[in-house]
Structures are given as structure tokens and as C-alpha cells.
Amino acid sequence: MSSEQTPQGHGQHGKHGFETRAIHAGYEPDPTTGAVIPPIYATSTYKQDGVGGMRGGYEYSRSGNPTRTALEANIAALEEGERGFAFASGLAAEDTLIRALTRPGDHVVIPDDAYGGTYRLVDKVARPWGLEHTPAPVADVDAVRAAIRPGTTKLVWVETPTNPLLTIGDIEALAGVAHDAGALLVVDNTFASSYLQQPLTLGADVVVHSTTKYAGGHSDVVGGALVVRDLEVAEQLAFFQNSIGGVAGPFDSWLVLRGLRTLALRMERHCDNAELVAAHLAAHPAVERVIYPGLESHPGHAVAARQMKRFGGIVSFRLKAGEQAALDVCAATELFTLGESLGGVESLIEHPGRMTHASVAGTDLEVPGDLVRLSVGIETGADLVADLDEALARATR
């Protein structure tokens, strides 16, 4: 599909509220059948009306597929961006972004606390091709500025909140620092979700999502997305998305699109339950420290309150009794399922040091062994608290 023909942007839905955009942006009921939900266009190719006579610009499904187009337009509208791009995974999105916007000899600043797979991609895949990187703490704007190599740094990449330590970066300030050095600010918005935070409106240039998480929301699909506000950057991403080919398939696109329609409702409930769990754990004698941006004790609380609608569904905590107790708690919960990933309706528990972040062991990004990460789901809040209480009692007696 040629990019100028891609139906994108939030158009008439730009003036609507988030929940309205989530349900309507990117798709009008099908003119032939009236179907209110986009069909899963399980097709690899499209009949042309004479050579080059494409209908709606569709020629081949790596280049464009109507179900994917609906998702791309929808997520662009939610992030208040100009264009969205959907990928087979969050890491496929990140890989395309890095290859589109950097070249051998360039440099990127990455968070010193980040999803382990992002670090692995930058350190083990991109670095051997000549991309240098420097980790910096996202909460410290001066440290990020100091990590930039003017002229060589092309991307300042942050997560906020970070995975798994939930550090908060001030997006507006970081955008200023990146732009002063001629770099773009990339914000991985996976943890906050498009509902709680819209980085492009705060000056970021590119938003990254693992749509596997809150966007999909039901732990039944792996996907990724990029959203940008500058059309030139969009053109580069469109070219690389098609050239590399790590695109979201139509069924996966349909699942993420279905998830996004209820994102606002789910996030409110995730936040309610996470606040309950964080307050409860903060008062628990076996817990050394609860890390949740919604707690006033969190050093990034004020910035989070400014740039996020609420504080999200992830709660991390450290055990007084150390690593073995953390492992025992992970093994002892019943409602909180032991597993990687996050952002689904069901509650999950994990040990970052041995699971999601095993790939950063021994690096600047290593996480503490006594750390437990919760993805707080949308079950009955009191049941979740009781499950954690019982597990903590069993693990620390």
C-alpha cells in the first residue's frame, strides 16, 4: 500500500473524548454489510482493477491490510499522534524503530532500568551492527543530558514508569533535553497505557507499545505498535515496516483493536486494585518497600501525578527477608498466577531477577533479588489482598 493512500490519523474523531475514540476511531461501519466491527481480512493479496488499480491502496498484506489499518488509525488517535504502525510484537516494533532512525556509528541513550528484552535488543543485536548506547536513569534529567553525545545521539529512549522498578521520567523535560541535542525522544508507554498517559502531547516524538500488555488486555495476543506525530518520521517508519516485514497479522490486529475498546474501563479497575494492593503491602511487616508511583513515598509521585491520569496497574515490592522470600512469595500465591507478561485482566506475579530481567543480570540494569513484580488484574480487590496476605504469611513464617 502506498503511504499517501493509507487511511490514517484521527480525523473527525480528533475532537472526541478518549473512550469515544477508543470505540470509533479508525473504522466506520462497513459500507456493504453495515458490520460495526472491522472484519478480520484474512487475505494476503488484493484484486487490482487493471495494473496498479488498487482499491483503497491495498496491494499486498505486508504493506497494508484493512484490519491492521483500523488498529493503526485507532492507536494513533488514542495517542493523539498522526500515524500508528502495528507489529508482530513490541520488540519487532522496537527493532523497526531502531533500524529506521539510526545508522552504524550513531548512539542512543537508554534507561538504566528497562524491559530486559529492550536492553538485549540494543546491547546484543544493535550494538554489533555499530549502534552505541549509554544507560541513564530516566528520573535524572541532568544524567540523561550528560549521557547524550551531541551530533551522534539520535534517540533518547525512556520508559515511564520503567519496568520493573517503576521509576518516573519527566517526559516534557526529557523532550527538551533530547531536542536541544537534535535527538528524538522515544517513550515506551507500555506500562502506563495510552489511557493513562499520552507522551506525544508532552513533546515526545515516538511512542512504543508492547500491545501484548494493556492494549490487548486479555493475555491472548502478542503485538507491538509505534505512534508518531511527525509525518517525515512516519514516512521512514512506513518504509522500514514494509521493508523489514515484522507486521501484525489481521487476527492479531483484530484482537488488539478489541482490547483497546475497553482500555479505559479496564485501566480504571487496574488502578483501583493496584492502589488497594500497594496501600496494603506498604503496611505489611514482611515488606521492606513498596514501589508504586501512586504512593506519596515514591520519589516520582509528583511528576507522575502531573503527566499520568492515574498510576497504573503494576506494583513492585521488596521483601525484608531477601531473595529466597521473594521466590517463595512468587510460588505461594493462588490468584496471582506465576508468569511473565503483564497488563491482562488476570493478576500475575513474577520474580524479575530470575524471569523477565534475567537477561540484564551482571549489567548496569541488574534488578534486586528481593524484588517481586505484580501485574494487578481486575478481579475483586479484596480477594487479591487476601491472596497476597496468605502467600506472605506462608513464605515468611
Ligand X SMILES: Cc1ncc(COP(=O)(O)O)c(C=O)c1O
Q: Which 3 state secondary structure label does DSSP give 316?
A: strand
15 carries an active-site annotation: no
- Shortest spacing between CB 300 and ligand X, in angstroms: 16
**CB-wise, 115 or 317, nearer to ligand X?**
115
- Shortest spacing between CB 96 and ligand X, in angstroms: 12
Residues recorded for the chain: 397
- Shortest spacing between CB 164 and ligand X, in angstroms: 9
**Cα–Cα distance, 352 to 340 (Å, whole number):** 9
62 carries an active-site annotation: yes
**CB-wise, 71 or 181, nearer to ligand X?**
71
95 carries an active-site annotation: no
Cβ neighbourhood burial of 67 (10 Å; 0-12, 13-18, 19+): buried
- Shortest spacing between CB 304 and ligand X, in angstroms: 16
**Cα–Cα distance, 134 to 223 (Å, whole number):** 27
Listed residue (123, 52, 73) closest to 227, CA to CA = 73
**CB-wise, 66 or 117, nearer to ligand X?**
117
Minimal CB distance to ligand X: which residue? 90
User: Which among 27, 58, 115, 195 is annotated as catalytic?
Assistant: 115
**CB-wise, 65 or 190, nearer to ligand X?**
190
User: Which among 60, 62, 289, 309 is annotated as catalytic?
Assistant: 62
Q: Torsion-angle region of residue 221: left (phi > 0), alpha (psi -120 to 50) or beta?
A: beta
Q: Give how far the C-alpha of residue 49 lies from the chain's centroid of Cα atoms, to the nearest Å.
A: 40
Q: Give how far the C-alpha of residue 195 lies from the chain's centroid of Cα atoms, to the nearest Å.
A: 11
User: Which among 213, 229, 310, 318 is annotated as catalytic?
Assistant: 213
- Shortest spacing between CB 220 and ligand X, in angstroms: 13
Residues that bind ligand X (CB under 6 A): 89-91, 115, 117-118, 159, 163, 188, 190-191, 210, 212, 222, 224
User: Which among 95, 113, 170, 188 is annotated as catalytic?
Assistant: 188
**CB-wise, 212 or 333, nearer to ligand X?**
212
The Cα-based distances of 209 to 199, 212, 338, 358 in angstroms read 12, 8, 23, 21
- Phi, psi torsion values for 354, nearest 5 degrees: -105, -10
213 carries an active-site annotation: yes
**CB-wise, 117 or 312, nearer to ligand X?**
117
CA angle (171, 10, 254) in 5-degree steps: 95
**Cα–Cα distance, 167 to 299 (Å, whole number):** 8
Q: Which residues contact 305 (CB under 8 A, 6 or more apart)?
A: none
**CB-wise, 23 or 125, nearer to ligand X?**
125
- Shortest spacing between CB 216 and ligand X, in angstroms: 9
Q: Which residues contact 17 (CB under 8 A, 6 or more apart)?
A: none
Helices marked H in 148-227 = 171-180, 193-196
- Shortest spacing between CB 28 and ligand X, in angstroms: 29
- The residues that are catalytic are 62, 115, 188, 213
